[in-house]
Structure 1
Amino acid sequence: LIGYSLGAESSQGRVFVPLGFAPGSLFQSELMVVALGTTFAMVADRDILQEVEGIMGGVWVFGQLILFSMIGSGTSLSILPEVTGILPLMGIGLLARLLGVFLVVFTTRTARGCEMQSCWATTEDACFCFLGTLPRATMQAALGNVPAT
């Protein structure tokens, strides 16, 4: 119930407190679904995981259509002239993210005793990790116009 944000309120309007927590949605449901899936992947047998992966792969084909059509339908071209004012802020944010990824990769390599690896290898790893953070904006764009409450 907590993972799917259910049970916070009853149909009569009285608050239902699940498992001793405070009333209302305590956890972000999207994050709890990811945690539930990760936990399932850790404890399930390999055969079951392969079967679930095959099923979810088929579901994702249709999920892509819905996700990207949501992004397309939520896009308004009337704000296009104002985008130029936002681009410097976006650039600063991406630069801060890139520096954070470099710091984390460098710190991780140092903590694990990988000082002998070249600076170029660290740069390649950091750039790869940075590029891996960019696709999450797709989901943020799809859900950005939907209020969290």
Structure 2
Amino acid sequence: MLGFGKKRVILLAPISGRVVPLEEVPDPVFAERMAGDGVAIEPDPAGGGMVVAPCAGELVALFATGHAFGIRTPEGVEVLVHIGVETVTLRGEGFVRLAAEGDRVATGNPIVRCDFDAIRTRAPSALSPVLVTNMALVTSFSAASGTVTAGKDVLLTLDLA
């Protein structure tokens, strides 16, 4: 039970796959939590290439290459979804943007469609970090384990002050 004045934000999985600790991401920016805290998802090859909004809010960033996006929740939590590692070098190949920066999105809205097979063969890793970039708002969080389905399963539960 949450105490008086506390809020909880639920983030659903933006990608179907296996939940992986950030330490396993082969990029120190993510593995050492320099960009924020959270988890990564190893995309399920059978899960399709749809990447959805993990929460409702404003799409505050959607990179031109389609490899990453950021959402700010009504509570002010900023969430970054980065599809694969070093995928900016693909220059947008294999990514189709389905939304636009500034859009208001609902949980589960499609944001990007991507070709995870291409990412696996052309990028160092398909592991996709899902981060809270302003952890100062978060007093505690818990993460799912095992496998998750995009837009359906809880990935992170955030308790806010």
Question: If the length of structure 2 is used for normalisation, what is the TM-score?
Answer: 0.20
Superposition TM-score, scaled by structure 1 size: 0.21
- Pick the structure with greater CA Rg: 1
Which has the larger strand fraction?
2
